[in-house]
Amino acid sequence: MTETSGDLAPLRLMAVHAHPDDESSKGAATSARYVHEGCEVLVVTCTGGERGDVLNPALKDDPQILRDMPQVRRREMAAAVQALGVQHVWLGFVDSGLPEGDPVPPLPEGCFALEPLETATEPLVRLIRQFRPHVMTTYDENGGYPHPDHIMCHRVSVAAYHAAGDPARYPQAGAPWQPRKLYYNQTLSLERISAFHEAMQAAGLDSPYAEWIERWSERGERAISTRVPCGDFFEVRDRALRAHATQVDPLGTWFAVPMRMQQEIWPTEDFELAHSHLPVTLPEDDLFAGLRS
């Protein structure tokens, strides 16, 4: 693919997520910042979140929600998209749910995590070739946390990133387009959570993070290559989060740290550079580093 000035104006970011609400809890302030700057941002949601639980205690037993969870989650997603100012596409796969129990039950037939990788990758390749993003974001190989849809989202995103620029792959899916960079969301890190925990304790506030820190060895730490300053857009992020009313407790951990404290202590969202077709100089403060000239 030959790069031209027309390819770069405006800059385009594609954020690929597993479920509705993931776009608001991972990289939302970064998306809002880039929209504000005039970049095009497309959020891709792989599944409809049909098997998600109601996590907001105030809505736990709402009969209308329980009767039509798929439609509720679509309405919530529409409100979050409006808050962030992004574009949005459903990829069309069925939520796998989070299997729990001993032994863990099998995944439901027809769900996203059981789709053949080649089949699940094609619609994302087609979308990449239509939207032509310069940068993509998704999850690392652990999914951020080990939900089967998050892990599948990683697999599909990486496969599509590499296939989209290859004219021999999925020739029926449009003209080849190669995104220049691929990042993994890494906003949830031990360093960040520890900084909030210590600041809240110093201010005499109750911190919800002590147990998280104790259990962090289960997650491990990832390398942070890129910290995007976006504190001015944390309030936009929170509006988008609250739009997912069934999934977010407005009195819960997401909103425990005072806004001013977040903006002063950790005014960035953080990413791990997974692949680049451009020369890079790390660390970065911009997902589009190397693309703006």
Nearest-angstrom CA–CA distance, 123 and 127: 6
233 has pLDDT over 90: yes
Mean predicted confidence (pLDDT) in 209-226: 86
Query: Would residue 283 count as lying in a domain?
Result: no
Chain segment 146-175, per-residue pLDDT in tens: 899 999 999 999 999 999 999 999 999 999
Q: Is residue 131 part of a domain?
A: yes
Domain membership flag for residue 203: no
Q: Kindly state whether residue 51 falls inside one of the protein's structural domains.
A: yes
Count of structural domains, the chain: 1
- Asked if 117 contacts 149 with a C-beta cutoff of 8 angstroms, the reply is no
- pLDDT of residue 139 exceeding 80, the answer is yes
Q: What is the mean pLDDT of the chain?
A: 94
CATH of the domain at 170: 3.40.50.10320
Does 2 score more than 50 pLDDT?
Answer: no
- In the prediction, which pLDDT does 1 show? 37
Mean pLDDT calculated for residue range 31-35:
98
Q: What CA–CA distance (Å, rounded) separates 62 from 154?
A: 33
The verdict on residue 210 lying in a domain is: no
Under 8 Å between Cβ of 100 and 53: no
C-alpha to C-alpha distance for 23 and 17, rounded to whole angstroms: 6
- pLDDT score recorded for residue 102: 83
Q: Is residue 199 part of a domain?
A: no
pLDDT tens column, 105-137: 999 999 999 999 999 999 999 999 999 999 999
User: Is the confidence at residue 199, as pLDDT, over 80?
Assistant: yes
**In-domain check, residue 213:** no
The model carries a pTM of 0.95
The pLDDT of residue 9: 78
Residue ranges making up the domain that contains 227: 10-188+223-276
Pairing of strands 40-47, 135-138: unpaired
Whole-angstrom CA distances from 39 to 2, 114, 173, 272 are 21, 34, 25, 21
